[in-house]
Structure formats: structure tokens, C-alpha cells
Amino acid sequence: MTDTWDVRPIIRKIVESDVPPIEIKEVQYEGALIGKVTFSVSIANLNLSHVDLQQHKRQVFCTFFANFLGELLVREHIDKFLQLLTELKSDDYLEIVNSKKHRRFGLEFSSGCLILSFHMSFLQDILTDDLKKIKVEDDPDSTQPHRPHEGHA
């Protein structure tokens, strides 16, 4: 029996594509959606077609796929996204990035493109994870919680 939720063919096409160009469409710096980043990617650059999206609609337009594709593309274009953080003033950074917590990617389809959105706090999460990995590589014992030396507060 064939699994009707087989997302592997779609993921395989995306993974086999070159790193696709993305376009940052909008960044919300105020209001209810503060910190929201919206970007797009052409389905053709992902080795996908309208037929693929129609045949695998259930697999593509779900939280799992949106999160997979969103994280893949953000990490592949991390320099472009981190630039958004470096352009913020210190006070704005605290308000915008720390105002909310990224939970999941949004995903829409329009004019031959997949449009994804996420909260800027996700970029901070990536940086934090990367710093933890660097620390572990430099000091394998660093995975242990830090405990002050006896006699020190």
C-alpha cells in the first residue's frame, strides 16, 4: 500500500537543487507583527512545478514542510538574514527580536513562488546554537552546566 503522505519526492527534488536565490520581501519593525520577516523563493529554483504542488498539496502546505523548507533556506542564506540583525540599533534589537518567540514558519504560494515568514528571534536561536557548537568543539567538557568554584558566588 502506498503512503498518501509521502513527502520524500518533494524533499528529494529540493535537496537535489542548487541553493536557490531568495528575496526578502518585508520586515515588520513595528505593530502587532513586529519582528516578522517574509521572503520568497521561486518554485522553479527548487526543482518544483505547479503540478508537484498540486499533486502533493497535503504534504507541502503543512507545518512540517514549512518548517523544513524555511529552516533550510534561512540557514543557506544566513548571511543575508543576519544582516537584518546587524542593521538594528541596540534598543530596537531588544524590542524587535526579543518581543516574541519564533514558533513555526508560515508558508503561502503566489505567482510561482513559495512565500515564507518567520520571527527574527529564529536568527538569534541559530546564532545561539552555532555558538554552543563552537564552545563544545573548543571544550568538550563545556556541555556540563557551569558551576562556580567553591568559595565563589
pLDDT for the residue numbered 4: 63
- Report in angstroms the alpha-carbon separations of 97 from 28, 36, 66, 85: 11, 9, 21, 8
Neighbour-count burial for 10-21, b at 16+ CB within 10 Å, e otherwise: beebbeeeeebe
Give residue 109's Cα distance to chain centre.
Answer: 17
pLDDT for the residue numbered 114: 98
pLDDT for the residue numbered 140: 66
Question: Identity (one letter) of the amino acid at 141?
Answer: D
pLDDT digit string (tens) for the chain, length 153 residues: 345 678 899 999 999 999 999 999 999 999 999 999 999 999 999 999 999 999 999 999 999 999 999 999 999 999 999 999 999 999 899 999 998 999 999 999 999 999 999 999 999 999 998 888 887 777 766 555 554 544 444
Contacts for 35 with CB less than 8 Å, ≥ 6 apart: 28, 96, 97, 99, 100, 119, 120, 121
| Half-sphere exposure (Cβ direction) of 95: Cα atoms closer than 13 Å | 12
pTM for the structure as a whole: 0.83
Across-strand partners of 75?
Answer: none
